Chains A and B, each alone.
Chain A
């Protein structure tokens, strides 16, 4: 008799009835595997692990209810319709019935995913909670080459770019960006929207290569869902700050992007430079924004439009927004801090820095920014610029009124929430290490040196409320000075230290305890050992009474702790080695 024998006429019970393998599910639904995949991705159905895998261990199991859920979805019928439509078109072409083929192609069956989104995320917060993957994916596709004939349609890449810019514009406008981190993989951002922490990764602004080791069908299906989701989320967010969505663009501007450029030039040249009227300035900025974006990209145009649209087109809305945000911020000191971080600072970006990222971050923290190139709101020669962001070995022409810093300074300031001293980030210098804001150093057990420096600076800033803490500043200076100290000076210091050392030792010897016990040191060691052993025994003795399961758990925890400790020790060792080698070089 087979293991899972079921007499004829008796229904399946338990796991055998509740779960179904993938192959069987595909057969049950009478669709192809590819359609099944697509359906699962769109509906958010995932395999589940039954307690008892009746059909074998190596198979994937879906819950029968999930499959029934798929079976009742109208999408299945839609997919069938699309398949039929494709066949009809093919047949029409084969019969040279071009009229019919055209007619068919004119009205292909389409489907919408809004129902699915509401089904998967009944509340807006649910959707925000699951937004990480969506944003990462959309940003990734926005960075792909928009080339005709590649595996990804140009239109979709543009759509992704537009959506990502819309999202960034919202985050920047509401100052809800919290953390940023430049990693090798790209730039991580963390924003807080409606109390949900949303983290996403944008690739570096370089052309990605389309590799062959990925299945674009799967990715594009995911993207299809994510595009819709992000669209609806953007709509809701824009709605919440009383801005129309999608940002209404003049179709003429879109179509005549290049002509607009000339027009804007003409307009800006006609305007009196240095117009102090704020609205005029903003408008000017918008126009130039338009100009810039039109030149670079259509989607950037949209972003720029959006940016200007937010403040100007609806001043009442803006007021509303401000009121709202102040009300919300009463209990949220974090947001307030974020908004005023770069207040009264004016930034200018050089050509070589990642402009898109900085244009996103600096306004998000309340700064004003311009860039080198056409359409910048203000010029490099502007006297009010406080910081110029450059990333080149040397800066030839220097304005004394401003500071020249590397882009990392912005990111570090944002993470530390204070204006860091710029000494370490000056052009041509190797900047201090860039630390991840996502790591809890205390939990990790190892605090990098620079994190401690930043902590001190923060403490100083909090106690003094001054933008540039003098104490921390000095520290910083000290460290920097030490690095470039003269050889003679260092020798002096070394001499001093040498002198100090024997005196310290003498002091130690003078202590009576040490002298007394120096004779019986070996015995001491032995005693110590035995004491340690005794302590360990006392700790371990209760282990004998534990059940095997608990003992295993305890062991696992201990192994994990040991591993963590090893990691920290390795870091400490490396740090020590690096320090010693650096000091050796210094001498």
Chain B
């Protein structure tokens, strides 16, 4: 507590001091000076009676004592008074009249002795110092004695002389210890001696041995010249300077001002570390300010960077590309556009080729279905169905000219009205339907499918409970399947044309169904969901296989005519080839398209398959499947077919092969159907 009190007190005084300094500082200084001088001031007065006040004091006052008798009181007290104090008789001493600054300055400027004048505030008079006094002051300021003749450090003269006196100063007897050798000293000496003897302490400086010698002598012995320890990875050498680092680079290496400005917009790591500059001559090149820093960075790299051996491949990029067999050997395949079928007013969403390959049908989002003659490119039939045609499929049986088309939500079966009379009759017979048959079927739930006669086109309408996405025929032409993606347990439906009967065999599917296809020769059924392809045996009604595609979303599926190979197109532009005998995973995944694949298809006869995509291209591949089970299928990309133009971000929407010829039909979003031939 006391300590803190003390602190407080000192604090207070510290507080006080500025005030006192502020008011007194000037006075103090001059006062002190005057105080020193006051003794000798009288001499000066007597010598040079300059000021009248001084004269006055001379006449009336005693020489030694100060004129003013107020004592050591603050002069502040007399600040506002007429007088500055009292003389020895008690009468007031009047203040002198203050002269103006300018006058004082003028007077001082003229007077050469001005520097010796000092104002004595205590006595209110001006005192002039003599030269001797000035000398004394200067000596004092230097810290010497005031008078020159004083020697502060005289040689010491001993006043007492011991020599010849014969007796000590003290009469006490010498103690014994003065005559006995010190035990501790001896111990110390013994210690030192021992240390010296044993060589613990050495006095001579260590000899300088030659620093350098022939370190690498005979290098013939290779066994010795192996580095011990782990494999040494030498640090990579620093990059050698290029033309741009020259002090005088050619003009093209110096960036323009705009380019330098544009560096500021770059990310810090992309920004060039070094901006070339040009100097006209060698003498104007300054010291490189980052020299030390770069040296240091190199040091850090050397001892802090993990070193690993990286194989830097310096190869021709062409050699990375796989060698393909000559395309000539793989002919025929569609290469060039031979025909364009023009007539639709909107994107052609789907097309289908008749079993004999004489006609094709195409459905468009302008609400029409057209049938074209392949050879001539003539449109021979148009149906205006009044809704977007999503999918169209021609009955694969050559004597049943029935078109199955997905119009808006539902499926429409049409008589294509082509071919000879017999076939026409047969088709018409198939498309007859009794209206009353299905009324009794109506239970508490809305039926999955209703077969209704379509009056206008003389066909059958299959009204589904939800929107249909695809339709696919069985190879015999009697059965067909539709997929209702949002149909839950009734998503995949099987229909029989001859009996006008539908059912939904699959209760549960892993994910949304995308497409469903029949096996081309056996009683198998493929359902493609978003990521998997399920293979069912229809006879045993059980799941046979589950193919994992590994793609994000399957968009289309096609089965090889042999039935063992499946290709799947995905919405991320990948095409997967499954060899179902080999594995449930893709035998090969090809990333050929930059956008969604819309359709994939196999050729019936030739070893060809194709994919069409939204990026306005269609790829044609050679896909040979060998009967030898040991040999893997051979896949060779053959041709990129271009020609369709993009419309509304969509490209080629469908592609189908001709059943007999190596021809490919593509349906584009630009409302054109193209035929590519060899």
Contact = CB atoms under 8 A, between A and B. Distances in A.
Contact of B637 (A122, A435, A544): A544
A554 interface: yes
A438 B237 CA distance: 13
A439 B242 contact: yes
A123 B221 CA distance: 10
B245 A435 contact: no
A551 B591 contact: yes
Contact of A60 (B251, B277, B304): B304
Contacts of A215: 296
B228 interface: yes
B241 A103 contact: no
A391 interface: yes
B640 A541 contact: yes
A231 B214 CA distance: 10
Contacts of B172: none
B289 A209 contact: yes
A436 B245 contact: yes
Contacts, number: 274
Nearest to A578: B251
A63 B232 CA distance: 12
B72 interface: no
A551 B322 CA distance: 11
Nearest to B256: A574
Given A140-B295, A235-B215, A433 B281 contact: no
B205 A106 contact: yes
Interface string A428-457: 001101111011000000001110000000
Given A37-B303, A431-B248, A107 B202 contact: yes
Given A541-B637, A572-B252, A107 B206 contact: yes
Nearest to A198: B237
Nearest to A407: B282
A450 B246 CA distance: 14
Interface string B173-214: 000000000000000000000000000011001100001111
Nearest to B255: A574
B324 A214 contact: no
The range of chain B's interface size is 35 or more
A143 B287 CA distance: 10
Interface string B281-313: 111011111111111101110111111100001
B257 to A, nearest CB: 12
Given A106-B205, A578-B251, A124 B216 contact: yes
A558 B234 CA distance: 30
Main secondary structure of the interface of B (DSSP, over half): loop
Contacts of A127: 216
B83 to A, nearest CB: 65
A133 interface: yes
B230 A66 contact: yes
Interface string A179-222: 00111111010000000000100011011111101110011001
A352 B638 contact: no
Nearest to B225: A122
Contact of A434 (B228, B249, B296, B313): B249
Nearest to B251: A578
A120 B305 CA distance: 18
Nearest to A184: B247
B591 A119 contact: no
A541 B638 contact: yes
A185 B294 contact: yes
B213 A235 contact: yes
- Give the one of A103, A123, A433, A435 with max B CB within 10 A: A433
A35 interface: no
B590 interface: yes
A181 to B, nearest CB: 6
A326 B323 CA distance: 53
Contacts of A239: 214
A399 interface: no
Contacts of B307: 46-49
Interface string B309-337: 00001010100111110000000000000
B436 interface: no
Contacts of B285: 182, 184, 204
- Give the one of B286, B298, B588 with max A CB within 10 A: B298
12 contacts: A120-B232, A184-B247, A203-B287, A231-B212, A236-B214, A352-B283, A436-B241, A542-B321, A545-B588, A553-B313, A554-B320, A571-B252
Which 4 interchain pairs have the tightest Cβ spacing?
A: A433-B250, A438-B240, A206-B287, A214-B296
